[in-house]
A and B are shown apart, each in its own frame.
Chain A
Amino acid sequence: MAYEWDWSALWDNLAFLLDGLSLTVLASVVSMAAALVLGLLVALARLSGRWLGAAAQVYIELFRNVPLLVLVLWVFTVLPLLGGFTLSPLMSGTLPLTLKISAFLAEIFRAGITSIATGQTHAALAIGMTRTQVLKRIVLPQAIRRVIPALGSMWVSLFKDTSILSVIGVGELMYQGRIVATDTYRPLEVFTGVAVIYYLLAYPQALGVNWLFAKFQVQE
């Protein structure tokens, strides 16, 4: 007996699913914004003195090598027990995302900064700039421009990672999808639909990142 597709399960609940999408976007935007700041700070720390650099390295390796799922569950279940406070699911979700992405961004920023030819740093120092001025006026403006494509890649990655928040009950797209699938007993149609929604959103963004890579090609 051939399977009888019934797409009404998807269409009737589309609005509910798209509600989840707004949380997906919200979590992505908030995490990315915080991670950009945090990541830059950690990158600068990494490039500075010995102790600060080592601490930054520990931070980077820790949050790059712990799976996101572990991090999410840890923040959700463990942090309240340690600190005695409770976080909303959204906060518990945004924090691990921020930590993870900031570690990757720190590496990206660090690579970008060190890629600025040392000759320019010498020239800037030679006219009497302090190290901070060199960073602010010469190195960072170019480094940030150079890493924009990599930042774009991380954004797309982050966008997909928000799906993991579904396991702690954050009502983003994946979570909404599971609810609808369970309610309608139509996991095939619903999950296919959810996958397609992700694809329709993430693929154009990935194309945008490709465009960024082409546009910001380094001319040395």
Chain B
Amino acid sequence: MTVDDVLLRAVGLHKHYGALHVLRGIDLTVRRGEVVVVIGPSGSGKSSLLRCLNRLEDPSAGHIYIDGIDIVARSANLPLVRRNIGMVFQHFNLFPHMTALGNVAEGPRTVLRMSRAAAEQRALDLLQKVGLGDKVNVRPAQLSGGQQQRVAIARALAMQPEIMLFDEVTSALDPELVAGVLAVMRRLAEEGMTMVVVTHEMEFARQVGDRIVVFENGVIIEEGKPSEVLRNPRHASTQRFLRSLLKEDRA
């Protein structure tokens, strides 16, 4: 692994919410083309980590280097930085006053200053890619959760980011809609997209993830290849957490 391969490097990340110490010294390295899956119990800090990575929230301490540039520095141009990082949210956060096409084209038009025609063409291509070519003029309210999430993925992809962040994107979906979204994500991974995925979907982690990172109480307690971490977790907490997930599946 050469230094050039590293796309994202978080060093010594801390995050406080008042008295709550949510991230306690996180170091994370993501290489180009890698799919890093972050698992752990609720409240362990996973979402906060993602939100710090595109500075939707500010870390209390630490540095985040993307392509070598420290985005935590005061001089960082946040809108510019965020163009390069795609984020997909648990609750989709689509813009309700725009159609699916409008949502996906909004970034290219307003941020990248593309012409309306070019932006809409890009949006059309992406919507087709995620399987919603027939829903381009539909508003979010008329789409299922899974469809909305796929539009959200297309919206993030429209900015042509180098890295995509997924924040529990299937947690709010009805079970039968989860597969469709995971399929889109798998395809993205196969095409070589660098991804950081926070999820509870262990099958996806096992099949698509290059590396698993286990969070608990604001620290990374375990890290490694999916086959190792999921089969033979070294840490007792990881074992407990995985067992609890299995129980949920059975129930």
Residues 210-244 of B, flagged 1 when their CB comes within 8 A of A and 0 if not, give 00000000000000000000000000000000000
Whether B96 sits at the interface, judged by CB under 8 Å, is yes
The one of A119, A128, A133, A145 that contacts B97, using a Cβ cutoff of 8 Å: A145
Whether A125 sits at the interface, judged by CB under 8 Å, is yes
On chain B, the residues within 8 Å of A145 by CB distance are: 97
Whether B63 sits at the interface, judged by CB under 8 Å, is no
Give the interface size class of chain B. 20 to 34
Question: In the complex, how many residue pairs between chain A and chain B have their CB atoms under 8 Å apart?
Answer: 67
The interface size of chain A toward B, counting residues with CB under 8 Å, comes to 19
Whether the Cβ atoms of B111 and A128 lie closer than 8 Å is yes
Residues 104-118 of B, flagged 1 when their CB comes within 8 A of A and 0 if not, give 001100110000000
- Chain A, range 126-151, C-beta contacts under 8 Å to B: 126-130, 133, 137-138, 141-142, 145
The one of B56, B106, B152 that contacts A125, using a Cβ cutoff of 8 Å: B56
A127 to B54, CA, bound (A): 10
On chain A, the residues within 8 Å of B51 by CB distance are: 122
- Nearest CB to that of A131 among chain B residues? B79
Whether the Cβ atoms of B110 and A129 lie closer than 8 Å is yes
The one of A117, A126, A133, A142 that contacts B85, using a Cβ cutoff of 8 Å: A126
Whether the Cβ atoms of A128 and B82 lie closer than 8 Å is yes
On chain A, the residues within 8 Å of B110 by CB distance are: 129, 133, 137
- Nearest CB to that of B155 among chain A residues? A127
- With both chains docked as a complex, state the minimum distance between the C-beta of B89 and any C-beta of chain A, in angstroms: 6
Whether the Cβ atoms of B91 and A126 lie closer than 8 Å is no
- Chain B, range 74-128, C-beta contacts under 8 Å to A: 78-83, 85-87, 89, 91, 93-97, 106-107, 110-111
- With both chains docked as a complex, state the minimum distance between the C-beta of A56 and any C-beta of chain B, in angstroms: 25
Q: Which residues of A contact B (CB under 8 A)?
A: 117, 119-120, 122-130, 133, 137-138, 141-142, 145, 219
Question: 5 additional contacts, CB 8 Å, given A126-B54, A127-B106?
Answer: A119-B89, A119-B91, A122-B56, A122-B87, A138-B95
The 6 tightest CB contacts between A and B, nearest first, are: A128-B83, A123-B93, A119-B93, A127-B107, A126-B87, A128-B82
